[in-house]
C-alpha cells in the first residue's frame, strides 16, 4: 500500500483510488485531416516506454474524478511529483540528469509520496507500448 498526492484534493490518498491512463503530454495533431497515416498512427498507438523518468496521466477515479499528471521513475517506481492538467513537470529526465551531475548524488525525490513494497498493481499496469 502506498499513497499518491492528488494535486486537486491536495492530500495523500490511497493508491486504490487512482487509475493510470497512459503517457502524459500527448498533443493531438492540430489538423488531423492533413496528417499522414503514419503520423496519425503514431499519435494513436505509439507511446514512450523509457527506463527512468516518465510523465503519466492518472485519474483520481474514487475521489475528485479529475485527471492529473505524475512524474514517475520507471526503474524504482518512485513517484517524484504530481501536477495538474495544463501544468508542466518540474522534474524531467534532463533536469534530473543535470542535478545528479552537479550534486554527485542521486536525487531522492519530491517527498510527496510514500512508496511501499506492495506496489505491483502499479508496476503491471503501465509502461508497455500500446
Q: Provide the binding-site residues for Zn ion, judged by CB under 5 A.
A: 6, 8-9, 60, 63-64
Q: Distances from the Cα of 128 to the Cαs of 25, 36, 65, in angstroms? A: 17, 25, 24
Q: How far is the CB of 20 from Zn ion (least distance, A)?
A: 15
Least distance from C-beta 35 to Zn ion, angstroms?
Answer: 34
Report whether 45 contacts 63 (CB < 8 A): no
Shortest CB 68 distance to Zn ion, Å = 8
Instruction: Tell me the closest approach of the beta carbon of residue 115 to Zn ion, in angstroms.
Output: 19
| Collapsed DSSP state (helix, strand, coil) of residue 91 | coil
Rounded to a whole number of angstroms, the CA Rg of the chain reads: 16
Residue 58 or 91: which CB sits closer to Zn ion?
58
- Please identify, using beta-carbon distances, which residue of 9 and 35 lies nearer to Zn ion: 9
In the complex with Zn ion, the residue whose CB is nearer, 68 or 73, is: 68
Residues 6+ away with beta carbon under 8 Å from 33: none
The smaller minimum CB distance to Zn ion, of residues 2 and 40, is found at: 2
List the grid coordinates of 35: 496528417
Give the position of cell 536525487: 107
Amino acid at each position: 500500500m502506498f499513497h499518491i498526492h492528488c494535486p486537486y484534493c491536495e492530500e495523500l490518498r490511497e493508491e486504490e483510488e487512482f487509475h493510470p491512463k497512459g503517457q502524459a503530454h500527448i498533443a493531438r495533431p492540430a489538423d488531423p485531416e492533413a496528417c499522414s497515416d503514419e503520423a496519425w498512427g503514431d499519435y494513436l498507438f505509439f507511446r514512450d516506454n523509457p527506463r527512468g523518468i516518465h510523465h503519466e496521466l492518472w485519474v483520481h477515479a474514487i475521489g475528485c474524478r479529475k485527471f492529473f499528471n505524475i512524474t514517475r521513475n520507471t526503474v524504482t517506481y518512485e513517484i517524484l511529483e504530481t501536477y495538474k492538467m495544463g501544468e508542466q513537470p518540474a522534474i524531467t529526465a534532463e533536469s534530473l540528469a543535470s542535478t545528479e551531475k552537479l550534486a554527485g548524488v542521486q536525487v531522492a525525490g519530491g517527498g510527496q509520496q510514500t512508496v511501499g513494497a506492495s506496489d505491483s498493481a502499479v508496476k503491471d499496469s503501465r509502461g508497455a507500448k500500446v
